[in-house]
Amino acid sequence: MLLYIADLIVPMVIFLVVSYGVLMRVDVYDSFIKGAKDGFFTVIKIMPTLIGLMVAVGILRASGFLDYLSGLIGGAMKYVGFPSELVPLTVVKMFSSSAATGLLLDAYKEYGTDSYIGLVASISMSCTETIFYTMSVYFMTAKVTKTRYTLAGAMLATLAGLMASAVLAGAM
């Protein structure tokens, strides 16, 4: 039953939005085209940031810095129950979700999806955010220059997500 409802949610939302627009006498197609045009220009504006982040992640992976950082931080992570093998995944996830997904698949191949490391990796991918990507894109788009405590708060939330992933995977 839930599968059928899940399959119908997106078409129903689209139908409801279009129906509401027609009832309010809004030219739905023109509004859609205007929104798509605005979205296209937004993508063009954030493209340099996206390219820069992808290049930075590629450099981090190719240079071996992630392995070095994993060895450096990994020892401390063992004491809190977080696998040191997932430190590179965690660092990359802060910059790029798609690059982190590649590392996640590597972890699945090496340790298995049902292993403790696979479970922690899966849960941590869901409990953390692409901090630097999100901050750069949203702050650049909104022209925010004073970020105050955003980075500290995001790092604290990521740490909480990582600890929760280790606890939840251990409980399974």
Using one digit for the tens of pLDDT, what is the confidence trace for 2-45? 888 889 999 999 999 999 999 999 999 999 999 999 999 988 88
Using one digit for the tens of pLDDT, what is the confidence trace for 34-44? 999 999 998 88
- Structure tokens given for 69: 């950082």
pLDDT score, position 172: 65
pTM: 0.70
Q: What is the mean pLDDT of residues 123-147?
A: 86
Where are the alpha helices (H) located in the chain, listed in sequence order? 2-23, 28-63, 65-79, 87-93, 97-111, 116-127, 131-142, 150-171
Give the pLDDT band of residue 53 (cuts 50, 70, 90): confident
Of 157, 37, 36, which is closest to residue 94 (Cα–Cα)? 157
In whole angstroms, give the CA distance from residue 73 to residue 80.
Answer: 12
Give the pLDDT band of residue 104 (cuts 50, 70, 90): very high
All residues at 6 or more sequence positions from 140 whose CB lies less than 8 Å from its CB, including other chains: 45, 46, 49
Of 98, 81, 100, 80, which is closest to residue 90 (Cα–Cα)? 100
Q: What are the residue ranges spanned by the domains of the chain?
A: 46-171
